[in-house]
Amino acid sequence: MNKPTILFAVESYELRQSIQAALHHQTVELVEATTCQEMLKYFQATKPQLLILESPCKNSADTLAIVESIHERDRRFPVILVTTRGSEGLAISALRLGFKDYFEYPFSGRDFINSINKFLSPRALQIPNSQVSMSAVHHPFVGTSQSMQKVKTYLEKVAHVDSHVLVTGETGTGKELVAKFIHGHSQRSRKPFIAINCAALPDSLLESELFGYEKGAFTGAQTPYAGKLKMADGGTVFFDEIGDMSLYAQAKILRVLESKEVYPLGAKKSVALDIRIIAATNRHLEKMMLAKEFRDDLYFRLNVARVHLPPLRERKEDIPDLLNFYLKQFNQQFGLNLLGFSVEALEALFDYHWPGNIRELKNVLETVFIDSPYERISRNDLPEPICGSEVAKAFLDQSDRDRERDSLLAALSAANWNKSKAAEQLQCSRMTLYRKMVRHRISNKKVY
């Protein structure tokens, strides 16, 4: 396997030495450009997997122009910003421009290497399809936040085993994508994947729809029907919104899990089943069990491998990747060539609370594309709940802001204002930490 290529344009001697020392023992090929202009030439020739760029270059306009030029070709291409003159404002600007990470000299070599490995791993593995390891498998989830990295890593493990899975998360976080990913990368991938909407399945039709029936089992049963569970034999059954299933239906499903067989209506003998169950819900099943609304025994049967999808408001550092992903998708769908977002539009999108999560973000962008904005999406192109500052901020009231500010100050104080350690304590990325510091007007042991 060829070593991944990292191209870096760093004019500062201290930064250059630090980067070379940190990557000295890593299996990567370093290509050094002495100026930003030289870097652009090397970029075309070497086709690197990662770019490390210093700010500012000698020409202060170069940083923006370089990133925009690269992201016109590939909006998801990873670029890391390094600097000897850092500030929270620069960190936020880097986030808005599409940089994937930000390091201020002096920085931790371990953090630097971990960041690089995170961005290189999916690009560097060039293995034939028949030999693809799980770490090289394409994930349908966009985002490089710490929480999503944990989800992706766990899903790779879950796909290898045949245990039942319980997926939790708010509406719009991608629970069905999780189910399809697990099935598609499991040993059952060549067998059917059957999705069942529990909220739309009344008790009166439960047995006939799931278990099937024989000819003449009831009026209108003119031909036999295998049932959805038998149709998935050898594969995976996805019970979507299982928290909306009645206690009667829960008892029937529990019986199937225990016996691994079903009795079609009108049948004289049972039918064996070989299925894997993946269940999903946006409800709090533990609270439902206490209220006797969900069966304990069914819960423990399903809750073997547990996957929780965080809401978008808790991983806002993934918003740039999501916006670029859907921008490319809708440009192709609508036959447009929008270049991106204005700074004001990005601020509005970051400030919004996203109660509908990724599904809402996708729908918002599709709404914008219907109106066909000119070149870049501006704040005025966004729907009223997002572009209206007062409405957008209403989702996060003052008490929530105060609590977030207190937590931020406590973490910074406990970490002796080491931002990497504070971000780790708060379980967020440094970019998210910088964004919150700017929001709450906190800077270098000062509150202004």
| Cis amide prior to 48 (ω within 30 degrees) | no
Give the number of other CB atoms < 10 A from CB of residue 66: 22
Question: Mean pLDDT across the stretch 72-97?
Answer: 75
Q: How far apart are CA 97 and CA 94, in angstroms?
A: 5
Question: Mean pLDDT across the stretch 245-255?
Answer: 94
Arithmetic mean of pLDDT over the chain: 81
Give ranges for CATH 3.40.50.300 in the chain. Answer: 146-312
Model pTM?
0.59
Residue of higher predicted confidence among 326 and 4: 326
Give ranges for CATH 1.10.8.60 in the chain. Answer: 315-393
pLDDT in tens, 397-434: 555 667 778 788 888 887 888 888 888 878 777 777 87
Using alpha carbons, list the distances in angstroms from residue 341 to 320, 435, 439.
Answer: 10, 18, 20
> Which residue, chain included where needed, has tokens 């630090």?
18
Q: How far apart are CA 279 and CA 164, in angstroms?
A: 8
pLDDT band at 370 (very low <50, low <70, confident <90, very high): confident
Residue of higher predicted confidence among 444 and 436: 436
pLDDT at 307 (0 to 100): 95
Residue of higher predicted confidence among 138 and 104: 104
Q: How far apart are CA 165 and CA 278, in angstroms?
A: 5
Residue 396 scores a pLDDT above 80 = no
CATH number of 5-124: 3.40.50.2300
The answer to whether the CB of 37 falls within 8 A of the CB of 11 is no
Topology classification of domain 315-393: Helicase, Ruva Protein; domain 3 (1.10.8)
Q: Which helix (H) or strand (E) holds 37?
A: helix 36-46
Give the number of other CB atoms < 10 A from CB of residue 400: 11
Give ranges for CATH 1.10.10 in the chain. Answer: 398-447
Residue 128 scores a pLDDT above 70 = no
Of 103-107, 193-197, 258-262, the range with the lowest mean pLDDT is: 103-107
pLDDT at 395 (0 to 100): 47
Give ranges for CATH 3.40.50.2300 in the chain. Answer: 5-124
Assigned architecture for domain 398-447: Orthogonal Bundle (1.10)
Residue 256 scores a pLDDT above 80 = yes
pLDDT band at 260 (very low <50, low <70, confident <90, very high): very high
Assigned architecture for domain 146-312: 3-Layer(aba) Sandwich (3.40)
pLDDT band at 167 (very low <50, low <70, confident <90, very high): very high
Residue of higher predicted confidence among 397 and 339: 339
Question: Mean pLDDT across the stretch 350-365?
Answer: 92
pLDDT band at 134 (very low <50, low <70, confident <90, very high): very low
Please give the order of strands across the beta sheet that includes 79-83.
29-33, 5-9, 50-54, 79-83, 101-104
Residue of higher predicted confidence among 16 and 147: 147
Residue 136 scores a pLDDT above 50 = no
> Alpha-carbon dihedral of residues 359, 365, 371, 376, nearest 10 degrees?
180
> Which residue, chain included where needed, has tokens 């290529």?
5
pLDDT band at 88 (very low <50, low <70, confident <90, very high): low
Of 27-31, 153-157, 280-284, 325-329, the range with the lowest mean pLDDT is: 27-31
CB proximity list for 428: less than 8 A, separation 6 or greater: 145, 146, 317, 436
The answer to whether the CB of 22 falls within 8 A of the CB of 113 is yes
